[in-house]
Chains A and B, each alone.
Chain A
Amino acid sequence: MAFQTQGSNLRALLVEDIKVNRMILSQMLRKFQVETTVVQNGKEAVELFLGGETFDIVLTDNLMPIMTGPEAISKIRAMGATDVMIVGVSVDANSMEEFKDAGADLCVPKLKLEILEHILQETRSKKNKSSA
């Protein structure tokens, strides 16, 4: 199940199984006027990419039912989606390596507004460079 929120400019995919986390992270992205699609596990994320959806940034949890974040990232990268910024979000120290090995650009233990702002700025720069 995926739903979209209003926004402009950057398009984000949020992959998170915990409802409270989805609500908080969606609100964070809304603060930065990011157009956000939300899914509940890695499989739903992969299906969006298979369906031809494109995103500027993917923010994903690690451990989720059906398909984990790293598994989804591997499949998304294997599809040729190499430009999309992918950020793993997990407090688990072991997750960092899993995310990086799978092809994530970044891994953060916790998303705070200041950290998200910096990541989004980086994503915007990357997007502007590739469209120049």
Chain B
Amino acid sequence: MDYSNLRRQAASMKKSLFDQGYLDEQFCQVEDLQDEASPNFVEEVVTLFFKDSGRLMSNIEQALEKYPRDFNRWDTYMQQLKGSCSSIGASRMKNECMSFRDSCGQGNVEGCMRSFQKVKREHAVLRQKLESYFQLLRQAGPAGAATRPVM
């Protein structure tokens, strides 16, 4: 198997995630924390992110239904999701979370609903892209561990 080609593909995939705005500099900060003692740290954090964000989005979905116009409650849940997105550099998701919070501040129910749909879409897309990225990294082997993209 051509491991160097796989590593090039992984690097290219990561660069495009940055170029298309899915990820920002904060993801590099997470990568910098990976070391010999925690060789899979980045993937573990991302796995936790998708597990936890799934739960948070489910809470928000229920709150939108059960607590109509409870903007404070909606905003509190979304604030947690936004914090999580920010921590791993999930830039597009974070921006949609911020749009939702803006709509909460304006008391705009339709705006909240639209933003939430976008949050869900960005979540699904990012999940699929990062799953592909980590699968490629695993195929590329240990030397394919995270490196900073050329930006």
Chain A: residues with CB nearer than 8 A to chain B? 17-21, 23-24, 27-28, 30-31, 61, 63, 91, 110, 112-113
Report whether over half of chain B's contact residues are helix, strand or loop; otherwise say mixed.
Answer: helix
Is B128 an interface residue, CB under 8 A from the partner? Answer: no
Among B32, B38, B45, B83, the residue within 8 A (CB) of A113 is: B32
Q: Are A23's CB and B48's CB within 8 A?
A: yes
Indicate whether B134 reaches chain A with its CB closer than 8 angstroms.
no
9 pairs across A/B with beta carbons < 8 Å?
A18-B84, A19-B84, A20-B52, A21-B84, A24-B87, A31-B35, A61-B83, A91-B83, A113-B29
* Chain B residues, Cβ within 8 Å of A24: 29-30, 33, 45, 87-88
| A20 and B79 contact, Cβ closer than 8 Å, known pairs A27-B33, A27-B41, A31-B33 | no
Residues B84 and A20 in contact, CB atoms below 8 Å apart: yes
Nearest chain-A residue to B76 (Cβ)?
Answer: A63
B45 near A20 with CB under 8 A, answer: yes
A17 B80 Cβ-Cβ under 8 A: yes
Using a CB–CB distance below 8 Å, which chain B residues touch chain A? Answer: 26, 29-30, 32-33, 35, 37-38, 41, 44-45, 48-49, 52, 76, 79-80, 83-84, 86-88
Tell me if B88 and A20 are in contact (CB < 8 A): yes
Residues on the B chain within 8 Å of A17, using CB:
80
A18 touches B38 (CB 8 A): no
Residues B83 and A18 in contact, CB atoms below 8 Å apart: yes
Cα separation A23 to B29 with both chains bound (whole Å): 13
Which of chain B's residues has its CB closest to A92's CB? Answer: B79
Chain B residues with Cβ below 8 Å from A91 are 83, 86
Which of A20, A28, A110, A112 sits near B48, CB closer than 8 Å? A20
Q: Quote the shortest CB–CB distance from B143 to chain A (angstroms).
A: 22
Determine the distance from Cα of A113 to Cα of B48 in the docked complex, in whole angstroms.
Answer: 21
Which residue of A19, A30, A61, A63 is within 8 Å of B52 (Cβ)?
A19
Q: Which residue of A lies closest to B88 (CB)?
A: A20
Cα–Cα distance between A110 and B49 once the two chains are bound (Å): 18
- Contact A18-B80, Cβ < 8 Å, known A23-B44, A23-B48, A27-B41: yes
- Give chain B residues whose Cβ lies under 8 Å from the Cβ of A27: 33, 38, 41
The closest CB in chain A to the CB of B53 belongs to: A20
In angstroms, Cα B45 to Cα A92, docked, is 23
In the assembled complex, the Cα of A31 lies from the Cα of B38 at a distance in Å of: 11
Nearest-CB distance from A119 to chain B (Å)?
16
Instruction: Give chain A nearest CB distance to B150 CB in angstroms.
Output: 21
- Distance to closest chain A CB from B70 (angstroms): 16
CA distance A114 to B76 in the complex (A): 30
How many whole Å from B57's CB to the nearest CB in chain A?
14
Bound-state Cα–Cα, A96 to B86, Å: 18
